[in-house]
Amino acid sequence: MIGPYGFNNGETTIDRKIGTNELGEDIILPFYPWPIKNSAISHDGTLDKSDVTISMSLGSEIDQLFLAYPPSQVVNLTIFEGHVGDPVTEENYPAIWLGRILGSTYKKNEIELSCQPVSTSLKRPGLRRNYQIGCPHVLYGSQCRASRAAATVTRSVTSVTRNRIMVDAWLGAQFGLYIGGLLEWTNSDTGVRELRTIANVINDSGTSVIVVRGIARGLAAGTQLSVIRGCNRQMSGCNQHNNIHNYGGQPFIPLENPLSSKNQFY
C-alpha cells in the first residue's frame, strides 16, 4: 500500500481523521506544511470538475513515487478546503476534489502532478465488449478466471542491471510463455509491492535474465520474485492456462469478405 501522505499550504501541521481501523480506533493523518498549490477548480454544482495540476516543492515522499517510473498502484488524490483556525472536522474541511494522479513532470525545483477527476472515469464512453478474434478479458481477472497461482513460479534475484534481472534458476523450456506476463516483488527499501510487465526473457548459462518495462527499483540480491506467465490473447494462450472455456474472443469470425467477387459456395 502507498501512503497515505498529507500536505497543506499553511504553516502548521493539521491532524485529520481519515477513518477507523479494525479495532474501531480513529486513524489520524497529519497534513504537514509544504510549498504546494493547485490549479483552479471549477465549482458549477455538478461532478464535471476540471483536471487539476498540483505543483509542489521537491523533497517530499511523492518525488520517490514517480522517480523514473510511475508507481505500480493507482495513486488517489483528495483535496480538502477550509479556513485557518477552524476546528478540523468534515464540515469545516470538506473534500472539494477527488481523483487520481496520472503522471508527473519536473520543472526546476518543483514537481507537477497531472490529476484526473473521478467523474471522468465514471462517464467514460465505450463498449464493454467488441466483436473481435482476440480475447478482451483482463488476464487473471474476474472474467478470465485463469489460475494466477498455477501460472506463478518463485525465483530469487542474483543481480540487477537497470531493467535486467538475473534470477537463480532458469524458467524452463517454455520460458517464452512468461513474455508479456508480470514480475512482482516487495520493494526492499519501502516495503511497497512493485509490479512490472515482462518485456523479454533471455536464457544465459543455465539461468534466466528477465527484462522488465520500467526501472527495477527496490531490488537486491536474494529478493524473492513472483514470475507470472503471460498470455497471447489467442485460443492457444487459453489452452496453456487450461482455461479455454473462458475464452472471450470470437475465433470463428469469417475472414473472407462476403461482398467480394469470390464464390462463397465452391
Q: What are 224-240's pLDDT values in tens digits?
A: 999 999 999 999 999 99
Alpha carbon distance 264, 259 (integer Å): 10
Q: Dump pLDDT digits (tens) for 115-165.
A: 988 877 666 666 778 889 999 999 999 999 999 999 999 999 999 988 899
Q: What is the pLDDT of residue 7?
A: 94
For residues 18-27, average pLDDT: 86
CATH number of 152-230: 2.40.10.170
Q: What is the pLDDT of residue 230?
A: 93
Q: What stretches of the chain adopt beta strand conformation (E)?
A: 7-8, 14-20, 26-33, 36-38, 52-57, 76-80, 95-107, 110-117, 152-161, 164-167, 182-186, 193-204, 207-212, 224-228
Q: Dump pLDDT digits (tens) for 44-77.
A: 666 555 789 999 999 888 887 887 677 878 899 9
8 Å CB contact between 198 and 178: yes
Alpha carbon distance 80, 73 (integer Å): 22
Cβ burial 94-107 (10 Å sphere, 16+ → b, else e): eeebebebeebeee
Alpha carbon distance 251, 132 (integer Å): 8
The per-residue pLDDT of the chain, averaged, comes to 87
- Looking at the chain, the domain(s) classified CATH 2.40.10.170 span 152-230
pTM listed for this prediction: 0.68
Q: What is the pLDDT of residue 264?
A: 60
Q: What is the pLDDT of residue 200?
A: 92
Which three three-digit cell numbers place residue 239?
Answer: 489452452
